[in-house]
């Protein structure tokens, strides 16, 4: 009797290795870090809903990143938390703001590290929204100029790439124009092109101290029910000059990643967000799943679906496992 014998290629680790279709590399992984403006540069505070992740003072961050680089860290993305917040989020573009200082310090210590910055106002505004607010409304066009200034200030501090995550319309074009006129025509933009209004950002908002003080982000972030809208967002960002595109969150949106992998030839990133991290950590801490198996399974799945790059809070840990 002849029938398909799939097991022939699963018999030994060697054979499985030979026919493995998707492999994670250290170059695929981007570790997010939260840097706090503090009096004590060695400040470190664990984030309760994200076991293993911390808010860092500047010197502590540099120390931590150094250790991660010894393990093979290639790239990181920074989220700054300023001491003071105001209605326009002015610390976002302050020349000596916490993010700008962190970029400069990291690049001084580690010129080879790829430092990406998150460009958004929500960590810097007193109301916690990603743009300027009038009454209950988040204003689109007046926000663009502030985002552009923020991106330019990150570039001046030495960032290797900027990643606008605010979901205002027209922001990629505004950021591109500001970078070009500031002499940074070679600095790439990683656009959070397809960002859903997700419940999975919960722990991040504790980490970045940025929960919206009224309402939610549904007037600017995407409806999880929508697929075609992702194509429209991508088309707009490509036309405006994005160099890389991101889908966020990752695991609930693997279909979108697959669709976009086929629709664009730009590098594609996926963000395994705070809530995805928290779920795995919580289940693993209870002994309900095996952490390493599940982490590698999710990251492999995200890559298999079409991501070239993965922003994940597990990056440091995975680098440790790879050694």
By beta-carbon proximity to ligand PBG, the closer residue of 160 and 166 is 166
Residue showing the smallest CB distance to ligand PBG in the complex? 204
In the complex, the residues that contact ligand PBG under the rule CB under 6 A are 118, 120, 122, 130, 165-166, 201, 204-205, 217, 273-274
Nearer of residues 165 and 298 to ligand PBG, judged by Cβ: 165
Residue 204 Cβ, how far from ligand PBG at the closest point, in Å? 3
Rounded to an integer, what distance in angstroms lies between the CA atom of residue 48 and that of residue 212?
A: 19
Shortest distance (Å) from residue 40 CB to ligand PBG: 25
Closer Cβ to ligand PBG, 85 or 217, answer by number: 217
**Surface-to-core class of residue 285, CB atoms within 10 Å of its CB (0-12 exposed, 13-18 middle, 19+ buried):** exposed
Smallest separation (angstroms) from ligand PBG to the CB of 205: 6
Least separation in angstroms between residue 298's CB and ligand PBG is 14
Residues known to be catalytic: 195, 248
3-state secondary structure the chain: CCCCCHHHHHCCHHHHHHCCCCCCCHHHEEEEEEEECCCCCCCEEECCCCCCCEEECHHHHHHHHHHHHHCCCCEEEEEEECCCCECCCHHHCCCCCHHHHHHHHHHHHCCCCEEEEEECCCCCECCCCCCCEECCEECCHHHHHHHHHHHHHHHHHCCCEEEECCCCCCHHHHHHHHHHHCCCCCCCEEEEEEEECCHHHHHHHHHCCCCCCCCCCCCCCECCCCCHHHHHHHHHHHHHCCCEEEEECCHHHHHHHHHHHHHCCCCEEEEECHHHHHHHHHHHHCCCCCHHHHHHHHHHHHHHHCCCEEEECCHHHHHHHHC
* Minimum CB distance to ligand PBG smaller for 183 or for 294: 294
Quote the least distance from Cβ 47 to ligand PBG, whole Å.
Answer: 11
Output the smallest distance, CB 274 to ligand PBG, in A. Answer: 3
Which CB, 57 or 131, lies closer to ligand PBG? 131
Question: Which CB atom, from 64 or from 248, has the smaller least distance to ligand PBG?
Answer: 248
């Amino acid at each position: 009797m002849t029938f398909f014998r799939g097991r022939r290629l699963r018999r030994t680790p060697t054979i499985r290795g030979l026919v493995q279709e998707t492999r994670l590399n250290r170059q695929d992984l981007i570790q997010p870090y939260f840097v706090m403006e503090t009096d004590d540069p060695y400040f470190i505070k664990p984030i309760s809903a994200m076991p293993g992740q911390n808010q860092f003072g500047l010197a502590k961050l540099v120390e931590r990143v150094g250790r991660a680089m010894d393990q093979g860290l290639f790239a990181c993305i920074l989220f700054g938390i300023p001491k003071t917040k105001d209605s326009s989020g002015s610390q976002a573009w302050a020349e000596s703001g916490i993010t700008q200082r962190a970029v400069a310090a990291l690049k001084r210590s580690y010129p080879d590290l790829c430092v990406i910055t998150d460009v958004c106002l929500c960590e810097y505004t007193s109301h916690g929204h990603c743009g300027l607010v009038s009454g209950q409304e988040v204003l689109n066009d007046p926000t663009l100029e502030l985002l552009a200034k923020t991106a330019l200030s990150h570039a001046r501090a030495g960032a290797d790439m900027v990643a606008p995550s605010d979901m205002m319309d027209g922001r990629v074009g505004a950021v591109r124009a500001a970078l070009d006129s500031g002499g940074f025509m070679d600095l790439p933009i990683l656009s959070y092109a397809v960002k859903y209004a997700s419940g999975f950002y919960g722990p991040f908002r504790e980490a970045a101290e940025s929960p919206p003080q009224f309402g939610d982000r549904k007037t600017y972030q995407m409806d999880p029910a929508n697929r075609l809208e992702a194509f429209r967002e991508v088309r707009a960002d490509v036309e405006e000059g994005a160099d890389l595109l991101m889908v966020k969150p990752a695991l609930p949106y693997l279909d979108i990643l697959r669709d976009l992998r086929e629709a664009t030839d730009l590098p594609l990133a996926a963000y395994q967000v705070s809530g995805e991290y928290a779920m795995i950590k919580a289940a693993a801490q209870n002994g309900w799943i095996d952490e390493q198996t599940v982490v590698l399974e999710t990251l492999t799945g995200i890559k298999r679906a079409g991501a070239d790059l993965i922003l994940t809070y597990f990056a440091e840990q995975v680098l440790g496992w790879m050694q």
